[in-house]
Chains A and B, each alone.
Chain A
Amino acid sequence: MKLLQKTIRNYFIYSVFILLVAIPLFYFSIQRIVREDVDDDLLATKEMLRPKISNALLNNAIDQLHFVDQNISISISTYTREFDSLLTVEIYDSVAKEIAPHRVLTSHFTVNGKPCFLKVKTSLVDNDELIKSIATVEVILLLLLLAGLFIINRNLSKRIWKPFYATLGKLRKYKVEKHEPLALSKSSVSEFNDLNTSLEELTDRTHNSYLSQKEFTENASHEMQSPLAVFQSKLELLMQTAPLNEEQAQLMGDLADASQRMTRLNKSLVLLTKIDNNQFAETENISVNKVLQIFIQQYQPQLYEKQIRITKAFQTEISSTANKALIEILIGNLLGNAIRHNYINGSIDLFIKQNTLIIQNTGKAVALDGQKIFQRFQKDSTDSNSTGLGLEIVKKICAIYNCIISYHFADNLHCFTVQFNNL
């Protein structure tokens, strides 16, 4: 969930909750206030009427006591106890000609020793109308207020978080090997400025450690060459010494193999650092088909040695501007792997369709780990001939030319697909 959605969601939930609670609460409390007011009025009327009733009783003229107001009626009660009761009753209103809620005060009291019964009622229709109007206005106000708050908050959040999103966008594009300065803009929020400063420092540090690591690999692989050359030459001189027994000869042969592996590994490392250093900048127009054809030719002896059948299905020609050496390394490595990891009487199928090159070969009947194979030194431990850097180099070259390389295993065939996008 996005940051803005999350903050606004909480506001929204709170607002709806407040609305749901506030509207009935508000309605009922207003209603209560109005009821109390009406009740007070009714009781006041009763108190006002008491002296009049008292006079009428003295004159024994209670029956003559008539009121203009039809809402008041009085009679002699049989009760001796004094009490008031207030009730809301639905009564037919002759004026409005409909049944309407009324508040009725029924009061039993004794005047000059005579029990009286007074009934005063008042219609609640007008009051209810009033309550409804007030409530409606209040609800509208409340809704407007919340909507306003909601919108202002969202816009404010958007504005406040804008530098954050800008920073995020720049970070996403940041590549440690290229290290274009982030150039994060100043914000009015100090936390964001702190964040930006920290990020700039962090990327600088990361880039520096990347550089020193790269430099180290570069130096290490270069410095390794001289002692390797010395080692190899001394070993060759040692081979010329006599007499040598079989055991010594075997040991020297093994040493020579080891030194050969070191040399190969070293060459691959040097190549990797060169690719990292963009030392293959010159470009020319290259046909992938032709390069592939040349390598098939070049690897004829190896293919013959393993009796590997090769089939080709080139539907289109992939060609574009790139560094020739890199494309050669890319294709040479992939085809080389298809030969190296194949078995005797195996097969290799090469397809070119649109902008895609597919190299498919027989080999071990187990799928490789698609995640790991492109990492350095992820190799078949049994194969001393592979350096474990071949696919890493392939991946690097693909990254330079925005090609997509993928691996899958189906029908006991290992299949590498290279999509030449921007070639």
Chain B
Amino acid sequence: MKLLIVEDEIQLSKSMATYLLRQGYTCDIAYDYKEGLDKMDSFEYDCILLDISLPGGSGLQLLKNLKADNKLEGVIIISAKDAIDEKIEGLNLGADDYMPKPFHLSELNARVAAVIRRKKFQGSSVLVFNELTIDLLAKTVLVNNKPVDISKKEYDLLLYLVSSKNRVISKNAIAENISGDGVDLYDNFDFIYAHIKNLKRKLTAAGCDDYIKSVYGMGYKFTI
């Protein structure tokens, strides 16, 4: 899987590349508009991570060019502006997702995985880890081919943990992923603990190994 990161903030693009590289993607980086344009014209990518304000031009223009060339790459817009109209414009131009800065790398990774899945497999896909199978189309979880009854929150949580497998995902990132904007209304992260506990209980009860590990002080990790 090959990704293109178009982002002028060198340190941020490096971080993104490092994280995604460890997830098994190949990453190209473009630091400005022209470089981005050149790379998009010359290579095929599975997903492009596109910053909007770039030296030399707008990321939205790059998106327009891409769509004009009928390219099928998935595009995730990364913007510092967090402007609703910009988000709508980007999505209307054919972007697959929109992420305001700053974001969690684990969240970015999960979104990249989702975009690629949608593009490559038209949404029909299963993830298999030994005895654990996640059916992404039916949104069901099977252990040893037997369905496990888990809630939607728990399914989302499992998918999020799995998308960054073997990586520590911070409690903040998990909290934000499962509760969106309302995350700051919780007094503490106990609710994550409750969700994780339930998920682990249901999986192990179905005969699944305990892959979800708590990492002291930081968060959780799906280890395999």
Residues in A whose Cβ lies below 8 Å from that of B138: none
Stretch at the interface among B77-85, B115-123, B126-134: B77-85
Q: Are A249 and B12 in contact (CB under 8 A)?
A: no
Taking CB atoms, residues of chain B closer than 8 Å to A301 are 153, 179, 182, 191
How extensive is the interface on chain A, given as a class? 35 or more
Q: Mark B1-24, 1 if CB is under 8 A from A, else 0.
A: 000000001011001101100100
Within 8 Å of chain A (Cβ to Cβ): is B215?
Answer: yes
A40 at the interface (CB under 8 A from B): no
Q: Are B15 and A237 in contact (CB under 8 A)?
A: yes
Do B168 and A239 touch across chains, with their CB atoms under 8 A apart?
yes
Stretch at the interface among A17-25, A26-34, A73-81, A228-236: A228-236
Binary interface encoding of chain B residues 193-218 relative to chain A, with 1 for a CB under 8 A from any of its CBs, else 0: 00000000000000000000001111
Q: Is the Cβ of A253 less than 8 Å from the Cβ of B218?
A: yes
Q: Are A332 and B181 in contact (CB under 8 A)?
A: yes
In the complex, the answer to whether B185 meets A299 with C-beta atoms within 8 Å is yes
Contact between B18 and A237 (Cβ–Cβ < 8 Å)? yes
Q: How many angstroms between the C-alpha atoms of A228 and B102 in the bound complex?
A: 6
Q: Is there contact, CB below 8 Å, between B101 and A325?
A: no
- Complex formed: what's the CA distance from A274 to B86 in Å? 13
- Are the C-beta atoms of B102 and A232 separated by less than 8 Å? yes
Q: Which residues of A contact B18 (CB under 8 A)?
A: 237
Q: Which B residues touch A263, using CB under 8 A? A: 102
Instruction: Output the least CB separation between B221 and chain A (Å).
Output: 9
**CB < 8 Å A-B pair total:** 118
Residues in chain A near residue B168, CB distance under 8 A: 239-240
Q: Which residue of B lies closest to A340 (CB)?
A: B185
- Which stretch of B31-39, B103-111, B141-149 is in the interface? B103-111
Complex: chain A residue closest to B191, CB-CB: A305
Residue of A nearest to B181 (CB): A332
- Does B218 contact A302, Cβ atoms closer than 8 Å? no
Q: Which residues in A have their C-beta under 8 angstroms from that of B12? A: 226, 229-230, 233
For the complex, is A84 an interface residue (Cβ under 8 Å from B)?
Answer: no
Q: Are A385 and B186 in touch, CB under 8 angstroms? A: yes
Query: Does the CB pair B182–A253 fall under 8 Å?
Result: no
A31-71 at interface with B (beta carbon < 8 Å):
none
Of residues 159 through 190 on chain B, the ones whose CB sits less than 8 Å from some CB of chain A are 167-168, 170-173, 179-182, 184-187, 190
Q: Does A257 contact B (CB under 8 A)?
A: yes
Q: Which residues of B contact A236 (CB under 8 A)?
A: 15, 19, 104-106, 170, 173
Q: Does the CB pair A298–B217 fall under 8 Å?
A: no
Chain B residue with the shortest CB-CB distance to A242 = B168
Contact of A256 among B100, B171, B191 (CB under 8 A): B171
**Which residues A229-278 have CB closer than 8 A to chain B?**
229-234, 236-237, 239-240, 246, 249-254, 256-257, 259-260, 263-264, 267, 270, 274
Q: Which B residues are CB-close (under 8 A) to A408?
A: none
**Cβ contact within 8 Å between B102 and A249:** no
**Known pairs A239-B168, A239-B170, A301-B179; A252 contacts B218 (CB<8 A):** yes
Asked if B219 is an interface residue, CB under 8 A from chain A, the answer is yes
- Select from chain B the residue with minimum beta-carbon distance to A386: B184
Q: Report the nearest A residue to B78, measured CB to CB.
A: A229
Question: Which residues on the A side are within 8 Å of B215 (C-beta)?
Answer: 239, 249
Q: Which residues from B are CB-within-8-Å of A332?
A: 181
A270 and B18 alpha carbons, distance in the complex (Å) = 29
Asked whether A256 and B172 contact (CB < 8 A) given A237-B105, A249-B216, A302-B186, the answer is yes
Q: Is A253 within 8 A of B170, CB to CB? A: yes
Known: A233-B16, A387-B184. 15 other contacts (CB 8 A): A225-B80, A230-B9, A230-B11, A233-B15, A233-B19, A236-B19, A237-B19, A239-B219, A240-B168, A249-B217, A253-B218, A254-B217, A301-B153, A301-B182, A325-B84
24 CB contacts below 8 A, A to B, read A222-B81, A225-B80, A226-B80, A226-B101, A233-B105, A234-B11, A236-B19, A237-B18, A239-B218, A240-B22, A240-B168, A253-B170, A253-B171, A253-B218, A256-B219, A257-B172, A259-B172, A270-B82, A279-B83, A299-B185, A301-B191, A302-B179, A302-B182, A385-B185
